[in-house]
Amino acid sequence: MNSKTLFDVIIIGGSYAGLSAAMTLGRSLRSTLVIDAAQPCNQQTPHSHNFLTQDGKTPVEISSIAKEQVQQYATVEFTEDFAISGQKLENEFQITTQSQQTYRGKKLVFATGIKDQLPDIPGFAKCWGISVIHCPYCHGYEAKSKKTGVMATGERAMHYAPLIKNLTNELAFLTNGGEAFADNQAEKLLQHNIQIIDKEISEVNHHNGHVHSLSFSDGSQEPFEAVYAAVPFIQHSEIPTQLGCELTEQGYLKISPMQETSITGIYACGDNSNPMRSVANAVATGNMTGAVVNKHLADEAF
């Protein structure tokens, strides 16, 4: 690949959102480079759900089919590398990768996702995406009717409560020694026979990533088959903020309804800019981003 080439678009991140944007741009004859480090956040998840035509497939199956289809478009190129820095030049952007390659593009699309900050609890990371889960739409059906714990407190817990209660009657909220529930919140949970366990979790006990119980700091243990966890995150790539892109209060890239960041010529799609964390949403926002970028390129040349 000639690093002196000026691409119409450089897409950083080649999972669902990035591939969706690349397909739209490839079908619009835009010279597009996809830089992907092959480090998707769902690589440990055994099956992906709630996405029409692909329900129950593994994440790698879906992305492999998607990449194979995108590769049919001759104007789209791929490189497996990790983008480490970006620079705004007069009428273009320049991206430098870990292998010290530089690439130039008229527009940038960040489909870089987010990086979960998992708690330092033994067993937690081994179960993440398998039986320690984050989304009742992605995983809830598979966990229905199981003894379920939810690691959340406050308003986030009250958001989860009715959604997960709809899927199982064996439900407990786990404060993990953190913020206590307000009296009215605790009363609401207890009205629905939802247990509150106000103890610090010392270990997630599991077999090959499948939870069977939780151990607590007081030496007690409780059986669980599934655990929801609301964990903090950071942006997977620091390049957008290096280039001046704003973040929301929650830590997502701030975008317009047309997927535009606060910096002209830079766009974002997928989990890095949207709390609706699903394959379907990533594909949808990537598709929109590709169309918006193509429209802007077309208008500029017309």
Give the model confidence (pLDDT) of 22-47 as tens digits: 999 999 999 999 999 988 777 778 88
> What's the burial of 144, exposed, middle or buried (CB within 10 Å: 0-12/13-18/19+)?
middle
Give the total residue count for the chain. 302
In the predicted model, is pLDDT for residue 179 greater than 90?
no
109 and 191 housed in the same domain? no
110 and 129 housed in the same domain? no
Give the model confidence (pLDDT) of 109-131 as tens digits: 999 999 999 999 999 999 999 99
Place of tokens 């952007």: 93
In the predicted model, is pLDDT for residue 177 greater than 90?
no
Give residue 221's pLDDT. 96
18 and 82 housed in the same domain? yes
d(CA 257, CA 87): 25
Q: Is residue 91 part of a domain?
A: yes
Give the model confidence (pLDDT) of 200-224 as tens digits: 999 999 999 999 999 999 999 999 9
CATH number of the domain to which 188 belongs: 3.50.50.60
Give the model confidence (pLDDT) of 219-242 as tens digits: 999 999 999 998 999 999 999 999
Give residue 144's pLDDT. 95
In the predicted model, is pLDDT for residue 3 greater than 70?
no
Into how many domains does the chain fold? Answer: 2
- The amino acid sitting at 243 is L
Give residue 1's pLDDT. 57
Confidence class of residue 265 from pLDDT cuts 50, 70 and 90?
A: very high
d(CA 298, CA 46): 41
Give residue 44's pLDDT. 74
Lowest-pLDDT range of 3-12, 104-113, 246-255: 3-12
139 and 92 housed in the same domain? no
Give residue 46's pLDDT. 82
Q: Report, as an integer, the average pLDDT of 43-52.
A: 82
Q: Which of 171, 282, 157 is nearest to 230 (CA)?
A: 157
13 and 73 housed in the same domain? yes
pTM: 0.93
Contact 118, 128 (CB under 8 A): yes
Name the residue range of residue 109's domain.
6-116+232-301
Pick from 195, 229, 263: which residue ends a domain?
229
* Average predicted confidence (pLDDT) for the chain: 94
Pick from 172, 207, 229: which residue ends a domain?
229
3-class SS string, the chain: CCCCCEEEEEEECCCHHHHHHHHHHHHCCCCEEEEECCCCCCCCCCCCCCCCCCCCCCHHHHHHHHHHHHCCCCCEEEEECCEEEEEECCCCEEEEECCCCEEEEEEEEECCCEEECCCCCCCHHHHECCCEECCHHHHCCCCCCCCEEEECCHHHHHHHHHHHHCCCCCEEEECCCCCCCCHHHHHHHHHCCCEEECCCEEEEEEECCEEEEEEECCCCEEECCEEEECCCEEECCCHHHHCCCCECCCCCECCCCCCECCCCCEEECHHHHCCCCCHHHHHHHHHHHHHHHHHHHHHHHC
